[in-house]
Amino acid sequence: MRRLVFSTDDVPERERFERWRELGARHLAGVRWEPGPVATPFRGALALTRLGAAALVELRSDGHRAARGGSAADGEVCVVEQQAAVPSRYLAGPRPLACGPGDLLVHTPEARFEEDGPGDWATRLWLVPWRRLLPLLPAGAGPTLHVPHRDGAAALAAMTGDALAGQAAHLEPAAADAAIDSFCRLLAVAAGVAPGAVEGGREALRAAALERARQYVDAHLADPDLSAVGVARAVGVSERQLQRLFEGTGESFARYVLRRRLEEVRAALTRPDARPVTDLALAWGFGSLTAFYRGFHKAYGAAPGELRAALARAG
C-alpha cells in the first residue's frame, strides 16, 4: 500500500500552520483549520495510506480548531477514532460531544461539525466511500454518529481499527478492501444494528473476538497460569465460545498456546546469548518440562539442544 508522510518539522515556523491548513484541505475535503488559542510554533504530522477504495489518515498536532461545512464533494465518510489521552470536544448539532480514547465518530457526507483539538492532539480518520458504510448504519442515526468506547462490540470495533491501522501498509488492495468491509460491518453492530441485520455482521464479530483473544494470549504467553477461562473473561465471551472461535481456524485454543510458546522458545534458541533450554521453557510458561520436550520434538523433529547445535553450525 502507498503511504505518504508529512511533518511540519522541516517547515519555517512562521509558515507551519499555513502549510498544515493546505495539507488538510487537500486530503480532507470540506474541513477548515484554524490555529488554537496558544500561540506557539505549530507542529503537526500526517500519514496517509491508501486501502483499496478507502484511505487511512493519521494525524497528530498541537492544539487547533477545525470545522466542516457539510460539503464533501468526494462523497466520503470519515470514521474518526480518537487516540489522545485528553478528550477532544465536538459540536455536531445541539449537543457537544466529548470524545475520548477509542471512541468512534461517523460523519456522513452532509455532516457539519466543529472540533476543538487540545494540545498533543491525535486522531485516526478512515475515509470510506459512503455507499459502503451508510446502508449498514441504523436508521435515523443522523449526520454524525458517536460510538463511545465500552466493552462489547464497541471495544471490538476499536480494536479492529487498531489492528487494521497497524497492518495497513502491508495489505494488498484486495485484502485491504475485505478488511475495511469487515471493519464497517463491525462498526455498524457497535452502533446498535443487530448482528443479524448486517450481512456478515456475526462473522465480523467473531473475527474481531478471535483477534482480540490472540493478542491477549500473545501478551501473556509467559504466564504459566494462562487459561481458556481467563482469556474468555478478558475478551468478553464464554469459555465455550472461545473454544469455538479457535476451532473454526482448525486449531484448538490449547494448540494455539502451545504453538506460540514453542515458536518463542525456538526463536530464542537462534540467539547466541540465549539462556539454557530449560530456563527458556519455564520463562515462556511451560509448567512441565516433559510436555515441553515432547511438544518441541513433535513440532520441529529434533530436540531443542540438537536444533540449537544445528543452527550454530549453520552460522
**How many residues in total does the chain contain?**
315
Mean pLDDT value of segment 229-251: 88
| Winning range, highest mean pLDDT, from 92-101, 184-193, 234-243, 276-285 | 276-285
Predicted local distance difference test score (pLDDT) of residue 73: 44
DSSP string, 115-139: EEE-TTEEEEEEEEEHHHHGGGSPT
Give the dihedral sign, CA 173/175/177/179.
negative
| Domain closes at, from 103, 122, 146 | 146
For 97, list phi and psi in degrees, rounded to 5. -120, 130
Residues 93 and 232 in one domain: no
Q: What is the spatial distance between Cα 174 and Cα 169, in angstroms, rounded to a whole number?
A: 13
**Shared domain check, 141 and 1:** yes
φ/ψ of 224, rounded to 5, equals: -65, -15
Boundary of a domain, candidates 127, 146, 165 = 146
How confident is the model at residue 261, as a pLDDT? 94
CA angle 109, 189, 146 (to 5 degrees): 50
**pLDDT at position 75:** 56
| Claim: this prediction has a pTM higher than 0.75 | no
Last residue of a domain, one of 123, 146, 169: 146
By residue range, what is the domain housing residue 184? 150-222
Phi, psi of 242 (to 5 degrees): -60, -45
Q: What tens digit of pLDDT does each residue of 25-58 get?
A: 777 767 777 877 665 788 888 888 888 878 888 8
Q: Does 133 share its domain with 41?
A: yes
Q: Are residues 214 and 230 in the same domain?
A: no
Residue 169 banded pLDDT, cuts 50, 70, 90: confident
How confident is the model at residue 289, as a pLDDT? 92
Task: Please calculate the CA angle 26-29-30 and round it to the nearest 5 degrees.
Answer: 125
C-alpha cell at 227: 487459561
| Amino acid letter, 192 | G
Same domain, 139 and 159: no
AA letter at 73: A
User: Do 116 and 5 reside in the same domain of the chain?
Assistant: yes
**Tens of pLDDT, residues 252-268:** 999 999 999 999 999 88
Give tens-digit pLDDT for 66-75.
777 655 444 5
User: Using CB atoms within 10 A of its CB, is residue 74 exposed (0-12), middle (13-18) or buried (19+)?
Assistant: exposed
Average of per-residue pLDDT values in the chain: 80
Instruction: Report how many domains make up the chain.
Output: 3
C-alpha to C-alpha distance for 268 and 4, rounded to whole angstroms: 35
- Does the structure show a pLDDT above 60 at 64? yes
* Cell reading at 96: 457537544
pLDDT tens digits along 78-110: 666 665 555 667 766 666 777 777 788 888 777
Q: What would the pLDDT profile of 128-167 be if each residue is shown by its tens digit?
A: 887 777 777 776 667 777 888 777 788 888 888 888 888 8
In terms of domains, do 42 and 112 share one? yes
